[in-house]
Structure 1
Amino acid sequence: MRQVGGARELAEALLAEALPRRWMHTQGVAAAARRLAPILGEDAELLESAAWLHDIGYAPAIADLGFHPLDGARYLRNSENADPVLCGLVAFHTGAIHEARERGLDSELTGEFTPAPQLLADALTYCDITTGPDGNTVELTERLTDIQERYGSDHPVGRAVRRASSSYVESVREIEARLAM
C-alpha cells in the first residue's frame, strides 16, 4: 500500500468512529504532508500515505502492545502487505525509538523494521509535531507542551518526548529550510 486513497480509507475506517480526535489529528498531519510535496518529488505520495497511517496503531481494533508505532507498522506489514519503507515510516515516526526504549520494546522495533530515509523521517516528524490533537497547525513548543501535559512527565511518552525534543527541533529546522529554498 503506497497509494494515498487506500491509506486514507484505512485510517478513516480504523480511527474516525473509534477515536475521533485522533482522526482529526491524522487529517491535519496528512494536510501538512500534502504541503510538503514540492520538496519531496517522487516521495510525496509515500509521505502522505505515511501521514494518513502514522497513528493507526492507536485503533482499538489493532492495538496489541499499546505502543502505537509498532502496532500500526505490524498491522500494515501483516494485514495490508504494505511497502517496507511505509512500514518503517510508521514504525519509527516522530522519535518512536525513544518511546520504544522507555517501554523496553526497542529490540522488537529495530529487529522488525528499518528506519526510513532521513528526509522522509524528518518530513513525517515535521508534519506530526506541528499538528495539534485537533488537526490544527501549531508551533513545535506548543505541541511539546501539550504532549507533556496530556501524558505527564513520568509516563513513557513524556520521558521519550523530553529525550527526543532536540531531534524534533532538528527535523523541523531541516524541513523549514527546504521549504524556504
Structure 2
Amino acid sequence: MKKTLYLVRHAKAEDRASFQRDHDRDLVPEGIMAAARVGHHLAELGVKPDCLISSTANRAKDTGKVMAEQLRVDPETLVLEPKLFDGGPKAYIAAINNVDRNCKSVMLFGHNPDISYFAEYLTHADVGSMSKGAVAVIEFDDLNWAEVSGRTGHLVDLISPKKLKES
C-alpha cells in the first residue's frame, strides 16, 4: 500500500534576539499567512494526513497547528518529538520509522538543514534548501513506515509559499 510523507519546513519566524532561546522563536505574521496559504492549497488537493509529528520548537509547532486547521485536522493530535529539534537526520528517520503502520499519510514539521537533507536522503532528488513553509511530498510504494530508509521514496511535489503566491 502506498504511503505519503509531507515534510514541512517551519514557516518564517522572528529573528533570534540575544535574550531568547532559538527553540522559543515564534512565527511572524507573514509566516502564519504562508503556512495558512500552503495548508489551504493542500486542503484543496484533498490532503488529510492521518498523523502529524512536529519538533517541539514554537515555530514548528505553530506551523503544524496552522496547517492542521486548514486541513481540518484536530491540531491537538500533533505529536511532539523533541529530538526533531537539533537531532539531525537520524532523529527524522527514527520519527518516521516509529509511525503506526495504519497511518497512510504523515505530515512532519521540522527545520533546515535537516529536513532538506532528509528529503534528499529519502528520494535521492535534488531538493536543495527548502524555503520556509515549503512542503516536500514524498511517496513510498509497498513499504511500512519502519521500512522507510534512503532512496526508498520518490519526490512527487515540492510546494513553496512563494510559488503559491505567484500563481
TM-score (norm 2): 0.32
Higher RCO (CA < 8 A, seq sep 6+): 2
The structure with the largest helix share of the pair is 1
The structure with the largest strand share of the pair is 2
TM-score (norm 1): 0.30
